[in-house]
Amino acid sequence: MTSSLPVIAHIADPAIGILQRSAIHHGWHTALVHPHAGEPLPPIADLPALVVLGGPQSAYDIAHFPYLATEMDYLARVHDRRIPLLGICLGSQLLAQALGGRVHPGDSGLEFGFIDVTAETADATDLPLAGRYFSFHSDTAAPPPGARTLARTDRYLQAWQLDTTVAVQFHPEIDAPGITALLALEGPKIAHYGIDVDAFQRQVTPAMTPPLAGERLLDSWFDTLPPGAGAKGSTRVAAPLDQPRLG
């Protein structure tokens, strides 16, 4: 038996191969929730922890995505209960805005590709944030009051923490097949920014050769949670890799 970890998605089929494998290794299974499709958010009283994924929406564009207002109110209440929260990309921006920060278009434009993330200080957090990750965003966020900034690149803030809430701008959850599927789906849009999609595709396999920074980070985050019901004696196994889109 495994424990269920709710994962809020903002597209139908997010690419979360690394997150799935890390969850399984720690005795959890991921349970996707789609508020953008009208699915109800899980009862807060039942939450052991929560992951909030990315997506193409903008956290400040409530006029076009009204369900995000409900979601941000929900995230604020989850945070207030000190339930472990992990926000990724759009998820990190929603958390920032929900907790009193501000999301806005980034001054440095699109950040796409493999980025080198540097931890702010060596003892800022128990999570191993430094490393190379896949990134795809143009919005950014000022963290909420009282948050510790944890990691940056030369262009953007990449991670912050407030109590039991951790937010990362990059994508530790997506694996090489997920990136390849994203390029197939979003290639024309990415090329519009002047990026050579074919050349980038050739970087994917070498850049995603284990050990992966995303796997190390997510394993460490799961280690901060109570063990999942199936964690005792578990071994790392491959999760399904049929997720076609980046979340």
Q: Is 89 a catalytic residue?
A: yes
Which pLDDT belongs to residue 201?
Answer: 96
| pLDDT digits 0-9 by tens, 182-206 | 998 889 989 999 999 999 999 999 9
| pLDDT digits 0-9 by tens, 137-189 | 999 999 999 999 999 999 999 999 999 999 999 999 999 999 999 998 889 98
Which pLDDT belongs to residue 234?
Answer: 44
Q: How confident is the model at residue 122 (pLDDT cuts 50, 70, 90)?
A: low
- Contact in structure between 166 and 156 (CB atoms under 8 Å): no
Q: What angle do CA 94, 97, 101 make, to 5 degrees?
A: 135
Distances (CA, A) of 194 to 85, 110, 190, 199, 237: 35, 11, 7, 12, 38
Marked catalytic residue, from 89, 111, 137, 215:
89
- Can you tell me the distance from the alpha carbon of 70 to that of 117, in angstroms, rounded to the nearest whole number? 31
- Can you tell me the distance from the alpha carbon of 166 to that of 56, in angstroms, rounded to the nearest whole number? 21
CB-based contacts of 66, cutoff 8 Å, min separation 6: none
CATH architecture of 3-175+212-223: 3-Layer(aba) Sandwich (3.40)
Marked catalytic residue, from 71, 111, 120, 173:
173
Marked catalytic residue, from 10, 25, 26, 171:
171
Which pLDDT belongs to residue 237?
Answer: 43
Backbone phi, psi, residue 114, to 5°: -95, 125
Greater confidence (12 vs 123) lies with 12
| pLDDT digits 0-9 by tens, 210-247 | 999 999 999 999 999 988 877 754 444 443 333 333 44
Which pLDDT belongs to residue 1?
Answer: 65
Side chain identity at residue 203, one-letter code: Q
Domain locations in the chain as residue ranges: 3-175+212-223
Average pLDDT over every residue of 113-141: 89
Backbone phi, psi, residue 41, to 5°: -75, 145
What's the chain's average pLDDT? 91
- Can you tell me the distance from the alpha carbon of 2 to that of 126, in angstroms, rounded to the nearest whole number? 25
pLDDT at 125 over 70: no
What pTM did the predictor assign?
0.91
Q: Is the backbone peptide bond immediately before 211 cis, with ω within 30 degrees of 0?
A: yes
